[in-house]
Amino acid sequence: MRLEECSLSEHGGAILQILNDAIVSSTALYDYRPRTPDSMVGWFEAKRAGGFPVWGARDDAGALVGFATYGSFRAWPAYKYSVEHSVYVASGQRGRGVGTTLMRRLIQTATERDLHSLIGGIDASNQESIAFHRKLGFVHAGTIKEAGFKFQRWLDLAFYQLILPTPSAPRDG
């Protein structure tokens, strides 16, 4: 497996396929309809504009088998050291270390960029994702009951957080 920074032209289609599979088959994304190829243009533009990484993992055959990214946690300036991350692994590739490798690289990137807090919003019934985050040192930071509704049921949204040792000199403004 090798990691690389993703681009729309080279990785957009594979990322879209992974996202759409999660949308239609799970509560990993609180979304109802598969996204369109055009939606990836805006998605990548927002990542670029925000200076947010998109890391991809390719298998030995060259197929993209997962990706990880982060973006703004909230829009107000005082949240500038906190980001909300996402990590998705293609169906059939889970349990092989892809997600762990991607998350470790994302944590390293966040640390290098002087961030302080990585936050993951996880469906509270997704015990595999919760265990995955706990294994990497994330701790439960709270749950919002019945935050979403999908597949004819209410979904609780659990937040897991990893505090980083950076930045060394945080500032207001």
CATH 3.40.630.30 describes domain 2-163:
yes
Give dist(CA 92, CA 113) in Å, integer.
Answer: 32
Provide the residue-wise pLDDT of the chain in tens; the chain has 173 residues. Answer: 999 999 999 999 999 999 999 999 999 999 999 999 999 999 999 999 999 999 999 999 999 999 999 999 999 999 999 999 999 999 888 888 999 999 999 999 999 999 999 999 999 999 999 999 999 999 999 999 999 999 999 999 999 999 999 999 999 98
pTM score, whole prediction: 0.94
Task: Tell me the β-bridge partners of 88.
Answer: 67
Domain map (residue ranges) of the chain: 2-163
Distances (CA, A) of 142 to 82, 83, 117, 122, 124: 16, 16, 15, 11, 10
Residues 6+ apart with CB under 8 A from 81: 114, 115, 116, 117, 167, 170
Looking at residue 62, the DSSP 8-state letter turns out to be S
